[in-house]
Amino acid sequence: MKPYLSIEKLTQRFPDGAGGDMTVFEDATFGVEKGEFVVILGHSGCGKSTIMNILAGLADPTAGSVIMDGQEVKGPSLDRGVVFQNYSLLPWLTTLKNVTFGVSARHPEWSKANVEAHSTKFLAMVGLDGDVIHRKTSQLSGGMRQRVSIARAFANHPKLLLLDEPFGALDALTRGTIQDELLKIWGQMEQTVFMITHDIDEAILLADRILLMTNGPQARVAESVEITIPRPRSRTEIVEHPNYYAIRNHLVQFLGKRSKELAGQPMQPGEMNKPATIRIDKTTPSDDPEDTQTVLRAVNS
């Protein structure tokens, strides 16, 4: 049974400027289930954004395919909404018009009033209402702009929502607030989300599963780490959870050390570039209360 979103043997090469090719990643294979929140973590230059652009249909892979809901992804589509790091709002439109822009593209048959009501509802879901929604986006703070962008994406009910480092340009406090907004709206919508980030804590707070990428070139999606912390989560409570630091340490170790060690190894013939599933769960009752070893169960699927 194929997953809802299936990335199969995806390869991306760019000319290296010296007549040869530079392989960003090769034969990357992984899947995302419906309703799942998957975050991809990795250093700059590992090809995260390239994967994102391919999923969005804004770029074409050198080889391999992306299959969503039984159909191959070809070109951009309203079924795959994108929230860009720099918000990508249209500055000559008001906040509300930026959202209705998306909604009326999705539902051309809706009446103007209907489109506006729908848009207003989603703006309210990210905490924007009243006078603010009639302002031009240039008059909004960075955090508010990203909320508009999130509202625009969710209002369209895409089959897959792609978030490209959505909080990268925001300060830590604003980032926290909007992560909460994102969790809230995601919880109501059962939206399938694929997100890029650099921020480990953000990834743990939001994700069902974290994909870890080694450094590029020839990057691999090396591990798929399940986040074994129950939802609903809040940033103050998850740090108390016994699994939190175990998972966090694993991620830090990977990004700090192993992403380099595993980097740049060409594919062995017949080898699959498929992430190993890692499940870290310290809540499993242990016979020995003195046992402080991390329970590490690596299951290769």
Q: Which residue in 64, 102, 79 sits closest to 4, CA to CA?
A: 79
Supply the DSSP string of the chain, one letter for each residue.
---SEEEEEEEEEEE-SSSSEEEEEEEEEEEE-TT-EEEEE--TTSSHHHHHHHHHTSS--SEEEEEETTEE--S--TTEEEE-TT----TTSBHHHHHHHHHHHH-TTS-HHHHHHHHHHHHHHTT--GGGGGSBGGGS-HHHHHHHHHHHHHHT--SEEEEESTTTTS-HHHHHHHHHHHHHHHHHHT--EEEEES-HHHHHHH-SEEEEE--SSSB-EEEEEE---PSS--HHHHTTSHHHHHHHHHHHHIIIIIHHHTTTPPPPTT--B-PEEEEE-TTS--S-TT--S--EEEE--
Q: Which is nearer to another protein, 43 or 106 (CB)?
A: 106
152/209 with CB nearer another protein: 152
Question: Which of the residues 105 through 134 are near another protein (CB under 8 A)?
Answer: 105-106
Query: Taking contact as CB under 8 A, which single stretch among the options 29-37, 52-60, 201-209, 250-258 is the one that binds another protein?
Result: 52-60
Residue 106 beta carbon to another protein: minimum distance, rounded to whole angstroms:
8
Nearer to another protein among residue 90 and residue 252 (C-beta): 90
Given the complex with another protein, which of 161 and 203 has the nearer CB atom? 161
| Residues between 55 and 84 that touch another protein (CB under 8 A) | 56-58, 75-78, 80-82, 84
Select 164 or 201, whichever has its Cβ closest to another protein. 164
Query: What minimum distance in Å lies between the beta carbon of 102 and another protein?
Result: 6
* Least separation in angstroms between CB 115 and another protein: 13
The answer to the question of residue 14 lying near another protein (CB under 8 A) is no
Smallest distance, Å, CB 139 to another protein? 8
Residue from 2, 16, 45, 90 binding another protein (CB under 8 A) = 90
Question: End-to-end distance of the chain based on CA atoms, in angstroms?
Answer: 13
**Smaller CB separation from another protein, 57 or 264:** 57
Binding to another protein, residues 134-153 (CB under 8 A): 136, 138
CB nearer to another protein: pick between 83 and 204? 83
Q: Which positions touch another protein (CB under 8 A)?
A: 56-58, 75-78, 80-82, 84, 86, 88, 90-93, 101-102, 105-106, 136, 138
